[in-house]
Structure 1
Amino acid sequence: MESHLYSEAFVITACSLVLLVLYSILRIIYSIWWKPIYTEKLLRRQGIRGTSHKLLRGDMGEMRRVTMQALSKPMSLNHRIAPRAVPFFHDMVQRYGKVCMSWTETRPRLIIGDSELIRTILADKNGHFVKTPQNPLVNLLQQGISSLEGEKWAIRRRLMTPAFHLDKLKGMLPAFSESCSNLIDRWTKLTSTTPQGTGEVDVAPELQILTTDVISRTAFGSSYDEGKKLFQLQKEQTVLVLEAYYNIFYIPGLRFVPTRKNRRRYELDREIKAILRDLIRKKEQEMQNKESGDDDDDDVDLLGLLLQCKDGSNNCMTIDDVLEECKLFYIAGQETSASLLTWTMVVLSMHPDWQQKAREEVLLLCGKRAPDFNAINHLKIVTMILNEVLRLYPPVTVLLRYTKQETSIGGLSIPAGVETLLFVLSLHLDPKCWGDDAEQFNPERFSEGVARSSKDNHNQTVFYPFGWGPRICLGQNFAMIEVKMALAMILQHFSFELSPSYTHAPCVGLTLQPQYGAPLILHRL
């Protein structure tokens, strides 16, 4: 009797295991084959063309091939950068239209270059389009406000917005000015070795030092030297994480195995967090020691303002949240501003007439003095130039969103689980929106402001360097004030031209970067 019971239990257990294995196999087949095929049919019925589903890897292999081919040779000295910087997406839009389909592993991706659809998706307030799901390694870079969704994002956004009001940014101008003065002093020494006051400088790493110094001072009240260790760790982490994210040839799940590089990624994460926790503890102690620790004027750096946000959040914001926002400051604040400044100097070297116009405006408003807030607000030509550079060389060339549920937009029904790639660079170069000179540098198009810059004036929103809608970049004003001051002070002290060694080769990393640096010839004025 007892043996019979054991036998029966064994049969039940074995059957359960078989059913579990069968269920798992069916789930895998559903995920990697049936669901993608069904989604592809739904999209094709609506007239959406593109590549077909390929088991497991999708178009990743082809994407890598065309990207490596594009990066293998430089381009001529013009502003038609999409075929080199984002060749796969550019080719897809040219071949299949402004709404087309490709595949990321088993996930369908809609590449969208249509202005109406992009605006509708960015304006979404219902949570139908969310940030693309990330993997744990990508999350090592930051899990700040840009990666949050729903109510948690809304609360964080509401808490942090006051920290970026103009009155707070005005208080940061001395830090901006000091960082820029250090850059000018460094370049003056570099060009003082020749009687003509001329020297070649790769401005790309120099401007990264500048923007890192600005972030260090304004976020933590420290200088570049004090924030150098954190910057170096973050830079190494960025390279390793992007390598894992864009790696094509890997066994699914391998990125989570404790390999040498994966161990280094988590080791860097621990070191970065340890430095930031120490900075946070010091700032908390400093605020506690002040008699009026809640006085905004006493804590104009962003860390102090963030800690005030935390204290007033009714436990909705923790120290770990503050830490992640600090990581975001370093990544987004430093990279975006450095990219914009680098390309602005390159473009003004290509167009010396506009460089001279900008210099004359700065000297008229400021002389050789560092610009104050009023002068920065009146730099019309400089602002026109910066907007045109942002149009032609946006730091972020694409924006990613993910359909949380079945969604209808612009006459299309998009199933749940579809990634939408908003092709910002393609839109910025679209002749339908900007005219026949869309690929030419023409700051005059912004002479009446951003809203009236496009050819199609009734469609006022076709310019998205900082995103748009409810999730528009919180640090937009911070970045523009910083860049205007830096460019103005550079124009006051130097003229510049492309070095004979300059190679025009825009490429996409974390932001749009010059693949071989940006060597320029500086002439001290």
Structure 2
Amino acid sequence: MEVFLMMKLVSSIALVGIFTWFLYQYSALRLNAERVKRKLRVQGIRGPPPSFLYGNLPDMQRIQSQAVLKAPSKSDHSDRFVGHDYTATLFPYLEHWRKEYGLLYTYSTGMKQHLYVNVPELVRELNQFITLDLGKPSYVTNKLAPMLGNGILRANGSSWAHQRKLVAAEFFMDKVKGMVGIMIESAQPLVRKWEQFIEEQEDTTAEIRVDEDLRSFSADVISRICFGHSYSKGKEVFEKLRTIQKVISKQGGFLFGVGGFSGKLFPSARKRQNEISRLEREVESLIWELVEKRKRECSSEKDLMQLLLESATSDQSVGKDFSKSFIVDNCKNIYFAGHETTAVAASWSLMLLGLHPEWQDGIRTEVAEFCPNGVPDADSLPKLKTLNMVIHEVLRLYPPAAFVSREAYEDTQIGNLKVPKGVCLWTLIPTLHRDPDIWGPDANEFKPERFSEGVSKACKFPQTYAPFGLGPRLCLGKNFAMVELKVVLAIIISNFSFSLSPGYKHSPAYRMIVEPGHGVSILIRKI
């Protein structure tokens, strides 16, 4: 009996100790959160009042639910909604608070404090911020770990700086020009497929859903450049990464750190996490198999992964384990950033060009004038001014990346703004790109001519044009993406004319990037 009572007493003491420890941790977090809020309030920064435990999460859920009820019917014709600002549908709480508190406000998700920063002057300061005190928000990068590993898109601090030094050189414009031939080769099967489809319809016009074909094209380009092989051999990698992307996007709290323990508490969430872990292991195994196979082939033509591997192994400050993880993780990063975002941008381009066929005519005329046999090359691409204007306008209206996000790892000064350590900053790119005060009263309209004299003359604050991000973390693949878009669009437009299908349903969706929720269907005919 005494032993039983003693065990019961010990258990009670242990429970009290655990409870006390959790209470202490909570109090410390709470005090720190309040201290951070005070530092922001004294600078005149306001925001929605938070609840005791959950911050503004209940408000976000309520506003999101109301926005779903008000959303236009998916059966409505596309023309009515192509020009609308979709951020009010995808991120309604941010837009709701922007209208109430302006371009700089604060809100919280539990203990995490956030700053919404869409003030052009502060965006410029962010663009020029070069220290490592700002990095990717840790809770976001933790969610993305299965998909991106510790590659350059997810890394912070000295690890990011080191990887950037190794990767950046492989995407300088002189290197990208040497990839144009691969891009042209990858576009030819797409053209043949569409020609054959039109012939099979026994008509001059056929309806084609283009987004999956553009994904296949972009995946083939990345596969050839990374490993020197065609898309068919890397297809499994892409399919598994795409599945991981979809599962992560469905998880609650992807953007704002909600539900950190849900994977342990709910069977459905735990099942999703197990699926992600399995896919992560399979992707890593497949990529390394491709690396090893490519090394055995001893080809005289070195692909991107071989060049990166040589760069990593020649660095005496890192070991063999780093070289392997560096290659696998950055391969996943390049696959996602170089494949998914470019394909989505090309899909949005065909959607808008389908609505505005007069711009197809202008591009077609330039391609005929400057490109031998209608096929662009590295020398003719810079001469396609109309195509360049169109791509810039597409990326303004539908930038694949919705946010520039940063976390302050130390107390940080950005212009006249003092950002306390631990605060996450969010810049909503589509809102910047559609602000009438920056772009004029026609900000929601498709007008590529605004870029006729380049980005610097296109708007009041050029630093707010950020389809590839901001500052030192500007997308390293910017040159690659622009060249690939020019190549595929020039080839498509020189071979086909098209209009947007009446069945197209305009429904931008956020799945880590902003993509057409129901794909893009066009009516296409061979020229």
Q: Which residue of the other structure, out of 263, 274, 284, is the alignment partner of 2:285?
A: 274
Change (3 A) 1:338 1:69: farther
2:28 alignment partner in structure 1: 30
2:414 alignment partner in structure 1: 409
| Structure 1 residue 181 corresponds to structure 2 residue 188 | yes
Q: Which amino acid aligns with 2:285?
A: A
Q: Distance in 2 between matches of 1:65 and 1:492?
A: 48
Q: Which residue of the other structure, out of 474, 478, 481, is the alignment partner of 2:480?
A: 478
2:3 alignment partner in structure 1: none
Contact 1:395 1:465 in 2 (8 A): yes
Q: Distance in 2 between matches of 1:372 and 1:198?
A: 29
Deviations 1:116-158 (A, max 9, x none): 1122123221222211003644211112112222222222111
Q: Which residue of the other structure, out of 121, 127, 131, is the alignment partner of 1:122?
A: 127
83-92 vs 65-74, which moves further: 65-74
Tell me by how many angstroms 1:274 deviates.
0.6
Following TM superposition, the consecutive aligned residue runs of length 4 or more in structure 1 with deviations greater than 6 angstroms are 10-17, 247-250
Deviations 1:220-266 (A, max 9, x none): 21212111111111111111122225369975412257822211111
186-195 vs 129-138, which moves further: 129-138
Q: Distance in 2 between matches of 1:193 and 1:15?
A: 78
The secondary structure found in structure 1 opposite 2:454 is coil
2:262 alignment partner in structure 1: 254
Q: Distance in 2 between matches of 1:487 and 1:305?
A: 29
Change (3 A) 1:233 1:56: farther
Q: Which residue of the other structure, out of 147, 171, 186, is the alignment partner of 1:141?
A: 147
The secondary structure found in structure 2 opposite 1:461 is helix
Contact 1:36 1:53 in 2 (8 A): no
Change (3 A) 1:220 1:77: same
Q: Distance in 1 between matches of 2:363 and 2:52?
A: 54
513-522 vs 33-42, which moves further: 33-42
Q: Distance in 1 between matches of 2:290 and 2:317?
A: 21
| Structure 1 residue 63 corresponds to structure 2 residue 60 | yes
1:3 alignment partner in structure 2: none
Q: Which residue of the other structure, out of 244, 247, 252, is the alignment partner of 1:240?
A: 247
Contact 1:173 1:373 in 2 (8 A): yes
64-73 vs 393-402, which moves further: 64-73
Change (3 A) 1:357 1:284: same
Unaligned residue ranges in structure 2 (runs of 5+): 1-5, 75-79
Between Structure 1 and Structure 2, how many residues are aligned?
A: 504
2:525 alignment partner in structure 1: 523
2:77 alignment partner in structure 1: none
Tell me by how many angstroms 1:402 deviates.
0.6
Q: Distance in 1 between matches of 2:491 and 2:65?
A: 38
Q: Which residue of the other structure, out of 372, 377, 381, is the alignment partner of 2:382?
A: 377
Q: Which amino acid aligns with 2:102?
A: G
Q: Distance in 2 between matches of 1:11 and 1:65?
A: 45
The secondary structure found in structure 1 opposite 2:251 is helix
1:468 alignment partner in structure 2: 470
Tell me by how many angstroms 1:193 deviates.
2.3
| Structure 1 residue 217 corresponds to structure 2 residue 224 | yes
The residue correspondences of 1:85-164 to structure 2 (distance < 5 A) are 85-134=90-139, 136-142=142-148, 143-164=150-171
Q: Distance in 2 between matches of 1:55 and 1:217?
A: 53
1:199 alignment partner in structure 2: 206
Tell me by how many angstroms 1:438 deviates.
1.6
| Structure 1 residue 265 corresponds to structure 2 residue 276 | yes
1:500 alignment partner in structure 2: 502
Deviations 1:92-138 (A, max 9, x none): 21221000112223211111111111221232212222110036442
Contact 2:309 2:323 in 1 (8 A): no
The secondary structure found in structure 1 opposite 2:153 is helix
Contact 2:456 2:462 in 1 (8 A): yes
Change (3 A) 1:482 1:68: farther
Tell me by how many angstroms 1:428 deviates.
1.1
| Structure 1 residue 359 corresponds to structure 2 residue 342 | no
| Structure 1 residue 45 corresponds to structure 2 residue 53 | no
Q: Distance in 1 between matches of 2:216 and 2:418?
A: 46
Change (3 A) 1:279 1:245: farther
Change (3 A) 1:57 1:182: farther
Change (3 A) 1:183 1:61: farther
Q: Distance in 1 between matches of 2:64 and 2:366?
A: 40
1:4 alignment partner in structure 2: none
| Structure 1 residue 208 corresponds to structure 2 residue 205 | no
Contact 2:109 2:258 in 1 (8 A): no
Q: Distance in 1 between matches of 2:424 and 2:174?
A: 38
Aligned alpha-carbon RMSD (Å): 2.6
Contact 2:367 2:374 in 1 (8 A): no
Change (3 A) 1:67 1:508: farther
Tell me by how many angstroms 1:387 deviates.
0.5
Change (3 A) 1:237 1:163: same
Q: Kindly, what percent of the aligned residue pairs are identical?
A: 31
Change (3 A) 1:278 1:249: closer
State TM-score, norm by structure 1.
0.89
Contact 2:133 2:157 in 1 (8 A): no
Q: Distance in 2 between matches of 1:467 and 1:250?
A: 25
State TM-score, norm by structure 2.
0.89
The secondary structure found in structure 2 opposite 1:439 is coil
Tell me by how many angstroms 1:15 deviates.
8.2
The secondary structure found in structure 2 opposite 1:285 is helix
Q: Distance in 1 between matches of 2:124 and 2:510?
A: 23
Deviations 1:465-497 (A, max 9, x none): 111221111111111111100000000111111
